[in-house]
Amino acid sequence: MLVANRGEIAVRVIRTLQRLGIESVLAVSSADRDSLGARRADRAVCIGPARARDSYLNIGALISAALGTGCQAVHPGYGFLAERAEFAAACERNGVLFIGPTAEQIERVGNKLEARRIAGQARVPTPPGGPVATLQDALGMADQVGYPVLIKAVAGGGGRGMKRADTPAELGAQFELAGAEALAAFGDGRVYLECYVAKGRHVEVQVLGDGERVIHLGDRDCSVQRRYQKLVEEAPAPHLRPSMRQELHAAAVRFARHIGYRSLGTVEFLVDVERERFYFLEMNARIQVEHPVTELVTGLDLVAEQLRVAEGRAIGIRQEDVMQSGHAVECRINAEDTERDFQPSPGRVGEAHFAQGEGLRVDTHIEAGSLVPPFYDSMVAKLVAHGRTRGEALQRLDAALAELRLTGIRTNQALHRQILASAEFSVGGVDTGFLGRWLAERAGRNAAGHPA
């Protein structure tokens, strides 16, 4: 199997392939020839120069690498081409098994307007709003749903092309800018409008389908975000009403079942804290960065489940067999300078020490001497802790963060410890605006001469 990715997810996929006795071939750029993943794989093949567009985003190079090394399948990981329908279709045309959903399913859920339509058909609530072609359309829609509103990219994600407008004047100023950003990021300038939820939680449900049957594997809370990028994730989501948790699970299964979903996927929701209701956000048709917290509370290997379904076999577990035990929390360790507006901090790692012990898991591609190149995402590791209770998991995670040593680069290690120690996060159930408020308050204290 060709692993068409890099970093910690490549190492993580290779680990399952080795356990299952499947030969692994890692596709690497010239910058990753000496990476941990390249050494862990049975073989490594260079697919191009360092820049992602010339390597990890080069469909032709990846297909050639798969065929040239005799690979029967490709695992795309997350990011890069994992949710590109044309990559899945190219694999299919060339007789290479794509470890993921069908190209058609990727296309349908990747189009945000189509995903909203599917949600409506599956009786899954969506935020009030809809497509807008012109500023006049947007102003009219905003009058209907009420300010503030969000402008979102039809083909987008990760906050790119997303703008908030609190007044008609702001909507006029942001509308063209949002379309231009969407066009630059996704090659599609179409946008749509949704009502803005002032205090919302990002809660997602892990689903698994085989084309005939869909089950859920529980939920996660991913509300600790900076500029729509997740930093801390946990499973299960804390402080959800049991009835709402059940409704979220059922809605996610209905959505996936409606399209005959095949593979692992995540249905994401925005939970309106003040109105105690939830809305469909999107579906990610791939394995998620935060999948380890689900693995720790369920005891399942989600990569192995992906492979089973891709081979054409039925899901091997029933819904009633999915048991959840304890609580798990994950911190994304990024190579960035949190004191300089989170600027990336590439470089060569000197010392690399990660804590080990009961309830701890580290997913990383970093070791002493590893190079963190400037061309890719800044995440270098995921620290994950599991405990019988949320409190125990948080204690173990904080201890692991205290023991972590990565020299030669700057990381957000200290920030994570401060987040875990904050009163609001300790209680649990923070909304997506939590980290922005906390950072602003910290900046204010520092400016006044009272460091956090």
Query: What is the set of active-site residues?
Result: 286
Between helix 103-110 and helix 112-121 the angle, nearest 10°, is: 100
Going by their DSSP bridges, the two strands 43-48 and 25-29 should be labelled as parallel
Residues 6+ apart with CB under 8 A from 123: 251, 254
**Strands of 396-439, DSSP E:** 405-406
Question: Is there a contact between 352 and 408 (Cβ–Cβ < 8 Å)?
Answer: no
Cα–Cα distance for residue pair 12/77, rounded to 1 Å: 9
Task: Give how far the C-alpha of residue 406 lies from the chain's centroid of Cα atoms, to the nearest Å.
Answer: 24
The answer to whether the Cα torsion of 44, 47, 53, 56 is positive or negative is negative
CA 303, CA 39: separation in Å to the nearest integer? 20
Give the whole-angstrom CA distance, residue 206 versus residue 116.
Answer: 18
Residue with tokens 């449900």: 205
What single letter denotes the amino acid at residue 180? A
> Residue holding tokens 């923070």?
430
> What 8-state DSSP symbol labels residue 452?
-
Task: Name the one residue in this structure whose structure tokens are 């795309």.
Answer: 76
107 alpha carbon, distance to own chain's centre: 18
Q: Which of 213, 233, 209, 238 minimizes the C-alpha distance to 223? A: 233
Burial 346-364 (b: 16+ CB within 10 A, else e): ebebeebebbeeebbbbbb
Quickly count: other Cβ atoms within 10 Å of residue 203's Cβ.
24
- Residue for token pair 């209905």: 254
